[in-house]
A = this chain, B = another copy of it.
Amino acid sequence: MRRISGGVIAPKGFRAIGVASGIKLSGRKDISLIVSNVPCVASGVFTRNVFKAAPVLVSMEILKNNPTGIRGIVANSGNANCLTGEKGIEDARRMSKIVEEKMGFESNTVLVASTGIIGKRLPMEVVEYGIDKACERIKFESSSTSAAEGIMTTDTKVKETAVHYVSGLETFNVGAIGKGSGMINPSMATMLCFVTTDVKISHELLYEALKGAVDETFNRISVDGDMSTNDMVIVMASGMSEFSVVKRDEKFQIFQNHLKEVLNDISMMIVEDGEGSTKVIKVEVCNAPKKNLAEEVARRVGNSLLVKTMMFGENPNYGRILAAIGSFGEKIKPEKLIVKVNDVIIFEKGNYVGFTDNSVLKGRYVKISIDLGVGKESFTLFTNDLSYEYVKINAEYT
């Protein structure tokens, strides 16, 4: 596996562009378009929130009806088109339809995504203008980076990646763009990720590969499964490489590993870009009796406001970590428990080692390792500290 440039246009058969339509009053890019030269096998993982945004519902429907003939994805930022009723559904369908018409694609071939403020109708005149512009522009220009820019909201950095596989004559590529700026956990900021690849694969196998890869990447940075109203991860496979995945064999594994790698890259970029955050916190729980206890402990420690603020203050008040772990009551066995912060033991088998100087917390990365000592299951979570800036960003969002 080797990282390459090009993002979503690294795989064969794809073009991409981002343009500014005016949804964002700042004048920044707010419409993104990815298209394929050929019909793609496609699959998606969507939020389980009951208030699914209109583009989520429309994309789920299109994917269900036409999982092997997808030609593109159109997305906007600045407005989530969520809680917008039947009119919102019409608006999302219209976004898809405009691309199909302008690009000469058949019906039900263009997926749609949105991110931004909830509860406001899309300004469709502006959106239509932007989509028109994107469809014109993409004919003579293609840029994964500009498409990545077009889906940013409070993101401060462009998120794109791509990997290349080669073995003898067989090669393939996987690329992705994404948006989402940390504190997704537990805050329900929208996470979008669009993946392209040129492998040949059925939509059943593509879904299976995607589902497994999402579980080990995005689900480690977002709380309670998928909470936001607009979250989606879409993958489109053009089949334009020689690499063909036909069953659950070694080649499936190779493809899934590459897919996982790009999803991991994007999810780490999201954590790195945490809203107002100054640190990336990794919470590793191991030797739990059950997977879900490992996950719950990791989430409770990672989501504790006292732990997050203590990290922001570089304040080695580690009792807060123990208090969060101990809140699980009798499931925790203090005599078996070992807790480390950046590999320095703070609690070991009944004994709290206590305060150390705060130099261990000075860096950008903090790892909290929790060995429950009562089983074999583990879970790793990534999150951020909680800063003044986070409060500012989210108090003033609209």
Interface residue ranges, A against B (CB under 8 Å): 48-51, 80, 82-85, 117-120, 183, 186-189, 224, 227-229, 303-306, 309-310, 312-313, 315-320, 322-330, 332, 334, 347, 350-352, 354-355, 386-388, 390-392, 394-398
Contacts and interface: CB of A to CB of B under 8 A. Distances in A.
Contact of A395 (B84, B85, B315, B328): B315
Nearest to A228: B323
A188 B327 contact: yes
A391 B394 contact: no
B83 A224 contact: no
A118 B310 contact: no
Identical copies in the complex: 2
A50 B317 contact: no
24 contacts: A48-B327, A48-B329, A50-B328, A51-B326, A51-B334, A85-B350, A120-B354, A120-B355, A186-B303, A187-B305, A187-B306, A188-B323, A188-B324, A188-B327, A227-B324, A228-B323, A306-B394, A312-B395, A315-B395, A316-B398, A386-B391, A388-B391, A388-B392, A390-B391
B313 A395 contact: yes
A347 B82 CA distance: 13
B183 A305 contact: yes
Nearest to A230: B323
Given A82-B319, A355-B120, A395-B310, A326 B229 contact: yes
Given A83-B319, A119-B354, A312 B49 contact: no
A88 to B, nearest CB: 9
Contacts of A51: 322-323, 325-326, 334
Contacts of A306: 187-189, 394
